């Protein structure tokens, strides 16, 4: 009986500890959810990630309700819409500066998906200006040859460009197995791609490839997605750039090899008449199959 009571005591002690740990674990989970709740609520109300974080990092209390401290969301993040230089697929930038509002994504290893949507770029918002020496407000593609640099391409399974608002738009040095240019409106256009047997169907695999990168909302001086490492092509299976409001420079797609390219519902123009071509697809763009339809010229001025 003494042995039994001893075993029972040890059992009760172990169960009490387990219950205590379970209770503490629940408290910590509740604390984390509470800390995240204001950010989620603000995003749900339509605030951009940057604005939501700005409201949360006041570092004070209001009406007795604690505001999330700066340290909770202090680390810069692609997912939250912070600018900086990102080495895909990392969510934290390799370089960040409060004085440089460019969103730059450098590609090398195969990435599953990159999505940038619902953003304002360039002089489309007050106080913005292109970085020194830059003329493109959005630049997507590889890098040309230079002294000591072997040229690169951006290799994409499916490139989706839709609902952009640009002063000017240009595609050059692009290969696409399936090229779709549809439903675009521009203040003057020149669409001159060339059929070729060169492009092939593409899908970017690689087994245990890198995770996806997704961001929605934000304001940037410039967006650049490229392959800046000499002789190393950037690779991404799905690259989606949707609903971009831009002003103050060219939207450029260059040095890209893709399985499918969709360019749809763009509005492009400087309001200077149809004689000046603002929507340009050069003859250096080649395709195996193409659907080019319902692209119209209409007077469009910058936002």
290: tokens are 């193409």
Q: What is the pLDDT of residue 221?
A: 96
Ranges under pLDDT 50 in the chain: 59-72
Q: pLDDT tens across 67-85, in order? A: 444 444 568 999 999 999 9
As a whole number of angstroms, the distance between CA 187 and CA 275 comes to: 9
Q: What is the pTM of this model?
A: 0.77
Q: What is the pLDDT of residue 41?
A: 54
Q: What is the pLDDT of residue 66?
A: 42
Query: CB-based contacts of 202: which residues, under 8 Å, 6+ apart?
Result: 155, 156, 157, 177, 257, 258, 259
As a whole number of angstroms, the distance between CA 50 and CA 241 comes to: 19
Q: pLDDT tens across 282-296, in order? A: 999 999 999 999 999
């Amino acid at each position: 009986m003494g042995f039994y009571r001893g075993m029972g005591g040890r059992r009760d002690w172990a169960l009490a500890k387990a219950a205590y740990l379970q209770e503490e674990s629940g408290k910590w989970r509740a604390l984390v959810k509470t800390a995240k709740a204001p950010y989620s609520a603000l995003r749900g109300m339509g605030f951009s990630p940057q604005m939501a974080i700005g409201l949360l990092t006041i570092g004070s209390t209001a009406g007795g309700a604690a505001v999330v401290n700066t340290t909770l969301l202090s680390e810069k993040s692609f997912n939250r819409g912070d600018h900086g230089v990102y080495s895909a697929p990392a969510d934290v930038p390799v370089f960040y500066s409060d004085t440089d509002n460019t969103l730059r994504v450098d590609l090398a290893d195969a990435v599953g998906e990159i999505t940038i949507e619902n953003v304002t770029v360039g002089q489309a918002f007050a106080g913005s200006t292109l970085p020194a020496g830059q003329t493109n407000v959005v630049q997507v593609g590889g890098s040309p040859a230079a002294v000591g640099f072997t040229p690169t391409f951006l290799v994409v399974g499916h490139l989706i460009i839709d609902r952009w608002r640009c002063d000017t738009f240009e595609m050059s040095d692009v290969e696409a197995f399936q090229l779709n240019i549809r439903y675009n409106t521009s203040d003057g256009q020149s669409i001159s791609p060339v059929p070729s047997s060169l492009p092939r169907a593409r899908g970017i695999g690689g087994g245990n490839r890198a995770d996806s990168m997704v961001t929605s909302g934000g304001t940037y001086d410039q967006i650049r997605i490229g392959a800046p490492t000499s002789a190393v092509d950037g690779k991404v299976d799905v690259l989606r750039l949707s609903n971009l409001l831009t002003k103050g420079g060219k939207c450029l797609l260059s040095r890209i090899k893709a399985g499918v390219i969709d360019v749809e519902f763009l509005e492009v123009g400087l309001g200077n008449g149809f004689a000046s071509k603002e929507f340009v697809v050069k003859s250096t763009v080649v395709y195996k199959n193409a659907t080019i339809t319902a692209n119209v010229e209409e007077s469009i001025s910058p936002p």
